[in-house]
Amino acid sequence: MTRMRDLVTPEGRLKDSRINCHDVYNYLKHNRPHTEIAVTLQISWEEVLALIHYIVDHEEEVEENWQAVEARIAKGNPPEIEAKLAETRGRMQRWLEERNQQKTEEVARERVAG
């Protein structure tokens, strides 16, 4: 049987996976049980427990990184990114309106023809 510590890289990532300790830490912060975490992330409960062991062994570092990420999220996007997002949303809205208009016209043509 593989030792749990052998499932996690020194950086806190599951070997051969993109899942890391911060993915599990988020669920732990919300008091989710390891079995639910395993199902949600589609990994084994042994892998979840291995990441939990990593979190416990590196608690200060993991919490520090977590706080840095939370601060970055709270800060929001810079204005230039928000402008690009608004532009993209506008293009998508125009495309949807055009698409809906095309469908409406198709239905009208089918009614006349049928």
pLDDT digits (tens, 9 = 90+) for 51-62: 999 999 999 999
Has this prediction a pTM greater than 0.95? no
- Mean pLDDT, all residues of the chain: 93
Sorted by where each begins, the domain ranges of the chain are 1-76, 77-114
Report the C-alpha gap between 38 and 47 in whole angstroms: 8
- pLDDT > 90: percent of the chain: 88
- pLDDT (0 to 100) of residue 103: 94
Report the C-alpha gap between 20 and 15 in whole angstroms: 9
